[in-house]
Amino acid sequence: MKVIGKIGKGVKKIKEDDLEELKYNLLLDYISKKVDISEGKRAVEDIIRVIYRHQPISTKKIAQKTKLPLPIVAKVRTILEREKLLKRCEKGAELTEKGLKFAENVLKLKYKKSLTCKTCKGRGIVLDEFFEEILNKVKIWSKKRPVVDTSLDQSFATPETSTYRAALMYERGDLEGKNILFVGDDDLTSLPTALTNMAENIVVVDIDERILKLIEKFAEKENVNIKTVKYDLRNPLPEELKEKFDVISTDPPYTVDGLKLFLSRGIEGLGNEGVAYLSYSHKPIEEWLLIQKAITDMGFVISELIPNFNYYEGSEIIANTTFISRLIGKDLKVNIGDINKIYTGLVKPVIRYYKCLKCGKIYKVGDKIKKVEDLVCECGSKKFKMIKREKIKNQNE
């Protein structure tokens, strides 16, 4: 810090710009602690950087690009608006003049463009005519899916996502002539995979009989070979499926124990070695370290990870997007955690408040009413929008 004068003996006068920078750094710390962001002030900086490059931009898009939960981004945005760094416009958030000065003078941002490919949107692959035809069929069948069962952490991926997953497996050499096991498939990724007619065998194991019946109808109608098995992953994989596969694909519950269980059942299907496609939510560093260790302990290496590859229908809490990773395994080891805490509702129980879209009445879900799928309003409507979430305190407290 440059000294430009003295006030009394040994007292340095601080430059105005230095005071501004100090003030804003304190503000970043305050926001990260106020909102309780695991990533700290770096996450707040990421939010400002994304707005700087993409403004005007919606809260949902900010969450997708920063890989932060939507409620976290919404809270940060509110504080930044209160501090006059952001303003709202019809198309989303914009930096104010004060916000631009902060971004450029304090965060040292200079370039206002994104280099993400506009064609593939960062996925690294594009669908050709062959896969586009497959996508059109998948769209039709996806409309026949039952309502999600939130107690099973179901959140249906878009038809585009499922088709891109199949295309990625093809591109990486994990489709043609391969035996593929889907460890859970409420996303219906087995459909585009089967429509390529490239895999040797495709097997889907899932606990939800509704999903399995839909896949069976699809296989019969489209004349493709998919074997379905109703199966609770808390039990060992059936003997006839052990060590029979080259590739597995899974989108497990977004808990460490959920990931361990689903990958472990996949390992039973692979045997000593093989490839796994894992779709999973972007997580804070503390939890990601546990996930990375679990993957490594099983004998997998993360050979590739593509953020924002998967998009889901209505999963606002994860901003509708997760990553996909390609894992290569050798000398694989089963590593099963607590099978009683594989779903997020058991690990982080919450009460959700839903508003009826017809009459406006508000209901609590998660206590007496366990899931929104069971909710019917007094007015007869079954359409609701979640408006608030709150954590359930430890019952032992």
**The two three-digit tokens of residue 135, written as one number:** 């996508």
User: Among 81-90, 237-246, 370-379, whose mean pLDDT is lowest?
Assistant: 370-379
Q: Where are the alpha helices (DSSP H) in 311-380?
A: 344-347
pLDDT-above-90 percentage for the chain: 60
Q: Is the pLDDT of residue 317 over 80?
A: no
Q: What is the CATH number of the domain that holds 144?
A: 3.40.50.150
The gap between the terminal CA atoms of the chain, to the nearest Å, is 50
| 3-class DSSP state of 395 | coil
Type of residue numbered 29: D
pLDDT of residue 1: 43
Cis peptide before 192 (omega within 30 of 0): no
Whether residues 41 and 162 fall in one domain: no
Residues contacting residue 244 through CB under 8 Å, at least 6 positions apart: 179, 181, 201, 269
CA distance linking residue 283 with residue 77, whole number of Å: 20
pLDDT of residue 237: 95
Whether residues 146 and 97 fall in one domain: no
Whether residues 301 and 360 fall in one domain: no
Give a yes or no: residue 122 inside a domain.
Answer: no
Whether residues 356 and 335 fall in one domain: no
pLDDT of residue 24: 76
Total domain count for the chain? 3
Give a yes or no: residue 171 inside a domain.
Answer: yes
Type of residue numbered 192: P
Residues contacting residue 42 through CB under 8 Å, at least 6 positions apart: none
Whether residues 40 and 150 fall in one domain: no
Whether residues 163 and 229 fall in one domain: yes
Give a yes or no: residue 379 inside a domain.
Answer: yes
> At 93, which helix (H) or strand (E)?
strand 92-95
CA distance linking residue 265 with residue 282, whole number of Å: 22
Whether residues 46 and 153 fall in one domain: no
Give a yes or no: residue 381 inside a domain.
Answer: yes
**The two three-digit tokens of residue 377, written as one number:** 């309003």
Give a yes or no: residue 39 inside a domain.
Answer: yes
Domain around 42: 16-105
Q: What is the CATH number of the domain that holds 76?
A: 1.10.10.10
pLDDT class of 339 with cuts at 50, 70, 90? confident
Better pLDDT: 178 or 317: 178
Type of residue numbered 147: V
Mean residue pLDDT of the chain comes to 87
How much is the pTM?
0.81
pLDDT class of 230 with cuts at 50, 70, 90? very high
Give a yes or no: residue 217 inside a domain.
Answer: yes
CA distance linking residue 290 with residue 337, whole number of Å: 12
pLDDT of residue 364: 78
| Average pLDDT for 40-65 | 92
Which residues are 183's β-sheet partners? 205, 250
Domain boundary among 301, 323, 341: 341
Give a yes or no: residue 120 inside a domain.
Answer: no
Whether residues 336 and 354 fall in one domain: no
| Average pLDDT for 162-177 | 98
Give a yes or no: residue 121 inside a domain.
Answer: no
At 76-127, the pLDDT tens digits run 999 999 999 999 888 899 999 999 999 998 899 999 988 999 999 899 999 9
Whether residues 81 and 162 fall in one domain: no
Whether residues 332 and 381 fall in one domain: no
pLDDT of residue 368: 67
Whether residues 372 and 283 fall in one domain: no
Whether residues 76 and 205 fall in one domain: no
| Average pLDDT for 152-171 | 90
